[in-house]
Chain A
Amino acid sequence: MQAGKNLLARERFSLTIERLCNQLIEDWGDFSNACVIGIQPRGVALSNRIHQRLQELTGNSHIEYGRLDITFYRDDFRMYDTPLTPHPTDMDFLVAGKKVLLVDDVLYTGRTIQAALAALQHYGRPGVVELLVLVDRRFNRHLPIQADYTGLVVDALDEAYVKVHWKEIHGEDEVLLFDKKER
Chain B
Amino acid sequence: MSGNMNLTLKVWRQKNGGSKGELVTYPVSDISPDMSFLEMFDVLNDQLVTEGKEPIAFDHDCREGICGMCSMHINGHAHGPKDQVTTCQLHMRSFKDGDTIVVEPWRAAAFPVVKDLVVDRSSFDRIIAKGGFISVNTGNAKDANNLPIPKVDADKAFEAAACIGCGACVATCKNSSAMLFVSAKVAQLSLLPQGKAEASQRVLNMVAQMDEEGFGSCTNTGACEVECPKGISIQNIAIMNKEYLKASVVSEQEAQ
Query: Do the two chains belong together in a single complex?
Result: no
